[in-house]
Structure 1
Amino acid sequence: MRRGRAGRPEKPISRDLKSNAQLAVFLRRRRAAGGWTYEELAELADDGVSRQTLQRAAAGGMNVPSWPVVANFIRATSPLRENDIELERATKKGKELWRKARYEQRQRTMPRRPEPPVLALVRSEADLAAVLVELYERSGAPSMRTMERRAGGLGILPHSTAHRIVTRKTLPYTLAQFEAFLNACDVPMQRRYPWYSMWARVNGVSVSALYDELAKLWADTPAKSSMTKAA
């Protein structure tokens, strides 16, 4: 596909939401680097994303685009220029910026919550509930159906249970369900041990019992099992 001219200059990025402005700058730089027009990007995008939707995603302001739109924008600006590793890095950077924008947007529009404690200071169920809600918000506040899917499938973390956790009406009282919640919030494996320690502390579980339970939980996942042995 032959790329055309970039077209008329775009309107200045709205700075009403700082994090969303940073996301818009990231997207515009990707488009400008390849000289893509928005019409061309719309042809390359999946799921029938329109030119207008892509333009709005790179406009900034108070309306944060959905993650599928941002992901489409990143992929559409990648053909013939990036290998898989570079695309993965760009996608990771884009998701980080998107999550910050989504978090800031929700903080502006939702009632203020007390500042949650750091993980090392969590001692009670109330503290645990607070940090789980904060984790959910920091992960981009995905839909409950998305949470259920990321958790590993039907029944592991039902969307109704996920909703009760993020509205502080219940807690994940088993390690398996807690692990499912971490999966649903996309917490990387290498960052999970402070979370496991916190869960064990709140639930009165010893370190040795925690690792025994993790080993059983991960028995069918070789990569995770090796991490338990290394710990």
Structure 2
Amino acid sequence: MGRPERPVAAADPALEKLARWLRDRRHAAGLTHRELARRSGYAFSDTTFSRATTGTRVPRLPVVEAYARACGAPVEHARGLWRAARYAAYRRRHPGADVPRPDSVYNRDELIHALRQLYHQAGAMPLDEMERRAGRHGELPHSTLHRMLAGRSLLDLQQLDAFLRVCDVTGGEWEQWCLAWRRVRRRHEVLRAGDRLTRTLRAPTAPVPRRLPAPTEPTGEAASAPPPVALAMPLFRRPRPARAAPRAPVPRA
């Protein structure tokens, strides 16, 4: 017999729901925390599993998934409860936060804001964890995610697909987000083409240099005639003035 568990001390209903669900799954399986650790291959200790159900803070997602898997409970449901608890904590810090509808997104800034809110709604897991869950190496780099969340770049369509899969967005909602991305991309390309045209029209035009007509080749007799010989002309020199004759000395009286 282990020591009795303390009552759940969660101040948030979503966190309390997660903690109670985990406890109920363990009690239904008839397992102790040590047995949970053994069933999980000691990926986490019995102390970590015990703290996950106290309700003092939201546990990490891998802990919740390992807890549910060891109890034979549905992991998808556990992941949904974890996301709800994380999003509730985020909403307490940001009361006005909400995920915009994809069909209301029309420009780049709106799309980045909407994906940022979707990231928090999905639990805001660490970026390297999202990269690992995306699958293949480089499919969703955490550095690219960081730039997108900071508003410095936009995901391409393949990266958006991986992002939505990690956030468990599927079906019609997945299609709506892809349509929003295509709409924003098309608008961005049109605006960029308009900016290039405006810069071209405003650029000062350089004067076109006049071209002298090309010399024509002589034909007929002129073509067979020898080229004219330039005559040497003597240089013209200005004559020097004549020197005055020296005066004779005047005899003295």
Q: Tell whether 2:109 aligns with 1:126.
A: yes
Q: Is the 8 A contact 2:97 2:117 kept in 1?
A: no
TM-score (norm 1): 0.72
Say which one has the larger Rg: 2
Q: Of residues 103, 106, 122 in structure 1, which corresponds to 2:90?
A: 106
Report the CA distance between 1:15 and its aligned residue.
Answer: 2.4
Instruction: Give 5+ residue unaligned stretches, structure 2.
Output: 188-253
Secondary structure in 2 aligned to 1:15?
Answer: coil
Report the CA distance between 1:118 and its aligned residue.
Answer: 1.5
In the other structure, the counterpart of 2:35 is: 40
Residues 48 and 179 of structure 1, relative CA distance in 2, 3 Å threshold: closer
In the other structure, the counterpart of 1:204 is: 186
In the other structure, the counterpart of 2:79 is: 95
Secondary structure in 2 aligned to 1:192?
Answer: helix
Report the CA distance between 1:190 and its aligned residue.
Answer: 5.2
Q: CA RMSD in A?
A: 2.3
TM-score (norm 2): 0.66
Q: Which has the higher helix share?
A: 1
Q: Is the 8 A contact 2:131 2:141 kept in 1?
A: yes
Q: How many Å separate the matches in 2 of 1:15 and 1:189?
A: 34
Residues 46 and 112 of structure 1, relative CA distance in 2, 3 Å threshold: farther
Cα deviation per residue 1:193-219 (whole Å; 9 max; x = unaligned)? Answer: 1111211222238xxxxxxxxxxxxxx
In the other structure, the counterpart of 2:200 is: none
Instruction: Give 5+ residue unaligned stretches, structure 1.
Output: 79-86, 206-231
In the other structure, the counterpart of 1:211 is: none
Cα deviation per residue 1:118-176 (whole Å; 9 max; x = unaligned)? Answer: 2121112121011100111122212222222333433333221111112222212x322
Q: Percent identity?
A: 38
Q: Tell whether 2:53 aligns with 1:31.
A: no
Residues 184 and 35 of structure 1, relative CA distance in 2, 3 Å threshold: closer
Count of residues in Structure 1 that have an aligned counterpart in Structure 2: 187
Q: How many Å separate the matches in 1 of 2:43 and 2:157?
A: 40
Cα deviation per residue 1:34-79 (whole Å; 9 max; x = unaligned)? Answer: 2222222222223442221111111112x1111111112112222x
Q: How many Å separate the matches in 2 of 1:139 and 1:157?
A: 16
Q: Is the 8 A contact 2:99 2:118 kept in 1?
A: no
